[in-house]
Structure 1
């Protein structure tokens, strides 16, 4: 038996839907509400698997109500009901099990029931996804993803996102983890320039998809998204992010403690190519730059330590890594010149100075500062 609730502010519409459902012996209507607030107050007492929701309701519309229901139980199937055949229909079809146009015809209801039974049968027959119960980490360096340990202990599994925008929205909420993010902020960041009515639909659609994906991968308890005060708040529980690990490892930048060299080396490896560098997310630029500055300071400290310990090859590698991120770091360039001279690599010394000069002239229209030019000539002369 499939248990259902219906929420519609028009009593005749509920009666009409109930009459249609009477033709299906495997559907039991366990709750019917004309007030969406009342429905919310009762969801904890009802055992249901599917919700028929009217879209246009006062106070809480069907889209928002659907979010609240999915927040309580992401496995709930939603069927939207609308009197308006508009642009939103396509989005509803993507995000929900189905949509119904008022007045609902018996033929259209039959199609919905067939879709529901197919979904229920697939859910019962499908084995658990090959994902471990212990997710490894939320990944934000390089490309956004969620890595999960495979059940056989070999390699990682990743979430298969239904749409790129759902994945981007989750990345945006992860960036603001622990904070309330208003819907207006999300629209401006994810769908800039789009009319609000369409942005609303796409936002609800993506939230629906995210909840479903997290539920499927058994991540709904580790990555929680709450609807709060006309916005969303994401929190992480018993799951780490590479950014949080990087921030902990580089806490010395905030002046809170002395460098932990092992932690710095781990942070250096975590950073990789940088924060969301594979993505074209304009909203990520500010955080990307902040993390980049921490990375530069981290690599600088590690390179200086390498030099102090006489690990010249490691110092050269790290100063080169720093310059790839911060190409106009004059201190880094000069330290490299000194190191190439120290190890007696005249050709590397000459190549580096030439690259530095060409880059500054091509991109800034400037020559290296006199002190750097003088250092180069002195070092080159000392190697003759």
Structure 2
């Protein structure tokens, strides 16, 4: 039997009932390995930094630090896991997309919608492993080095990890990331991923 590649995840929600619901629905997805369910968004940021999950499910409205604050703090630490926002209000959808969230789910969590979000995450990561940016017009203006950085970023590597991989400074990687967004007229890497994927899917 083929071994399922595990997706390490953290779930953050200050409501016990919501955490219980997430634990129940995620138990149906054997590819998801939840490192921890937590009600504390402040401790969750450090947990994400320490554990390096690939995927984070986070409630939008929480005291002290909301879901958008958590995402911002994690990005400030140079980490870019997939973020799926959990909210009772669809008014946050646009903000979630603008802040580079992978997806958002409305409470109460629907299993089919959760499956779509997880499949979206898996397709984006498997896609990043096989894509050829040299043949993608979205990336035509990028230098070879910027394409290297983009491929590694799409695979989920942090700025520090990319810097170590390419033997250059983190500051240089951060500069490349900004240039990539400017050259491709993208607000964030999620938007850029959609642009690249759209071209590739039309070709297939």
Normalization by structure 1: what TM-score?
A: 0.35
Q: Are 2:144 and 1:131 aligned?
A: yes
**Where does structure 1 lack aligned partners over 5 or more consecutive residues?**
139-144, 148-157, 167-208, 214-384
Check whether the contact 1:5–1:50 (CA below 8 A) recurs between aligned residues: yes
Q: Are 2:39 and 1:34 aligned?
A: yes
**TM superposition shift of 1:125:** 1.8
Check whether the contact 1:5–1:51 (CA below 8 A) recurs between aligned residues: yes
Q: Are 2:30 and 1:25 aligned?
A: yes
Q: Are 2:95 and 1:91 aligned?
A: yes
For residues 125 and 12 of structure 1, the distance between their equivalents in structure 2, rounded to whole angstroms, comes to 40
Aligned to 1:161: 185
Partner SS for 1:146: helix
Aligned to 2:179: 146
* Rg larger in structure: 1
Runs of 4+ in structure 1 over 3 Å off: 127-130, 210-213
From 115, 120, 128, the equivalent of 2:120 is 115
> Superposition pairs for residues 1-384 of structure 1, below 5 Å?
1-86=6-91, 88-94=92-98, 95-127=100-132, 131-132=144-145, 146=179, 159-162=183-186, 166=187, 209=188
**TM superposition shift of 1:54:** 0.4
Partner SS for 1:93: helix
**How many residues matched?**
150
Check whether the contact 1:80–1:99 (CA below 8 A) recurs between aligned residues: yes
For residues 79 and 191 of structure 2, the distance between their equivalents in structure 1, rounded to whole angstroms, comes to 6
Shift in alpha-carbon separation, 1:120–1:100, aligned structure 2, 3 A:
same
**TM superposition shift of 1:212:** 8.6
**Where does structure 2 lack aligned partners over 5 or more consecutive residues?**
1-5, 135-142, 146-165, 193-204
Check whether the contact 1:74–1:211 (CA below 8 A) recurs between aligned residues: no
Aligned residues: CA RMSD: 2.8
Shift in alpha-carbon separation, 1:15–1:97, aligned structure 2, 3 A:
same
Shift in alpha-carbon separation, 1:74–1:126, aligned structure 2, 3 A:
farther
Partner SS for 1:78: strand
Check whether the contact 1:89–1:99 (CA below 8 A) recurs between aligned residues: yes
**TM superposition shift of 1:71:** 2.2
